[in-house]
Amino acid sequence: MSNKVNPLLRVSAIQQQCSDNKSISMATSEQLIRQAASEGSRLVVLQELHATLYFCQTEDTAVFDLAEPIPGPTSTWLAGLAKELGIVIVGSVFERRMNGVYHNTSVVFDSDGSLAGLYRKMHIPDDPGFYEKFYFTPGDARFNRGESGFTPIQTSVGKLGVLVCWDQWYPEAARLMALAGAELLIYPTAIGWDTTDEADEQARQLEAWVTVQRGHAVANNLPVIAPNRVGTEPDPGGQSDGIRFWGNSFICGPQGEFLARADDRQECVLSAVIDRSRTESIRRIWPYFRDRRIDAYGDILTRVRD
């Protein structure tokens, strides 16, 4: 009998609309998680802040009441689903770490319901409609068992390089996860269009988002799973027409090839089978990691080169 691990892994990304009623959002997530599990997925990834509306369109201190500790209601619910269904779940929590310290946190539960690890979003945006610096403290460089902030999380389906949304624009984050042994890159996301933007500008933004993440797959020879939300969410402050989240969740292979891609409107379970053995095969013929000039990269640690 062979002791080899089957390299084929069925994974799912959940693309959904969110509600101002947390129980409705969580019920939708649960329905889609159960569907993914029933179809054979062993790894299910939820989008960023899936339990609530995207509250960062405005700055409002009352929103901190939505935050919860880990363990807490959302993480306990996710842990129970993971154990019941025998799958690995990557979820998202607005984490209350202590008085005045809050994080945008991905939680990973293994197939036995145990907390395999967490990742606190490292890059925090502060742009019109995305005022995240008001709410989120950046993740620590050392946060979990003395490890680096960019440390893969070991699970029964492999080492997961979990990053979050704005992290997806930084090649350094993807590379550090790859160097630490990540077997998959995962980007839970909440991103969309200003509804007043012209169609051409919306198309450029969407394709930039897709392209940069496919680039991380190519540059590191790793599959990428990127779930994003859909639906238009109003601006609570009434300063804009809100955000239309553009969906387009996708799963791609280690050469950036699309394995599955959603549209910009529908809730769905997006699934694909990933062949984890291809990373090794591709790195043998495209040996980026062998040829890296680590002796010449010192300036990467400077803000700018004057």
Residue closest to 230 by CA, chosen among 241, 245, 243: 245
pLDDT recorded at residue 182: 97
pLDDT of residue 306: 82
Tell me the CATH number at 51.
3.60.110.10
Q: Determine which helix (DSSP H) or strand (DSSP E) holds 290, and give its type and residue range.
A: helix 288-291
Q: Which domain holds residue 65?
A: 8-301
What is the total residue count of the chain?
A: 306
Specify if 23 maps to a domain.
Answer: yes
**243 inside domain:** yes
Residue 33 lies in a domain: yes
| 78, two tokens | 């996710």
Q: Is 159 a catalytic residue?
A: no
CA nearest to 91, candidates 143, 153, 6: 153
Active-site residue flag, 252:
no
Write down the pTM of the prediction: 0.95
Of 165, 183, 252, 268, the catalytic one is 165
Q: Which residues of the chain have pLDDT under 50?
A: 1-2, 143-144, 146
Name the E strands within 101-229: 101-109, 115-120, 126-127, 130-131, 142-144, 147-148, 153-155, 158-162, 184-186, 192-194, 224-226
Q: Contact, 233 vs 191, CB < 8 A?
A: no
- Beta carbons within 8 Å of 279's beta carbon, 6+ residues apart: 183, 221, 222, 223, 254
22-38 helix and 73-85 helix, angle to the nearest 10 degrees? 20
User: Is 173 inside a domain boundary?
Assistant: yes
* Residues facing residue 260 across a β-bridge: 251
189 vs 87, 92, 105, 121, 213, CA distance in Å? 21, 10, 12, 11, 12
Token pair 């910009």: residue? 264
Question: Which residues, 6 or more positions from 263, have their beta carbon under 8 angstroms from its beta carbon?
Answer: 247, 248
Q: Is residue 27 part of a domain?
A: yes
User: How many domains does one find in the chain?
Assistant: 1
| Residue 1 belongs to some domain of the structure | no
In-domain check, residue 72: yes
Active site residue 18: no
Instruction: Tally the C-alpha atoms within 13 A of residue 262's C-alpha that lie toward its C-beta.
Output: 26
Q: Which of 121, 233, 252, 268 is catalytic?
A: 121
Q: What is the largest distance, in Å, between two alpha-carbon atoms of the chain?
A: 64
**Residue given tokens 């990053």 in the structure block:** 163
What crossing angle do the helices spanning 199-220 and 171-179 adopt, rounded to 10°? 20
Closest CA to 12 of 39, 48, 52, 51: 39
In this structure, is residue 17 part of a structural domain?
yes
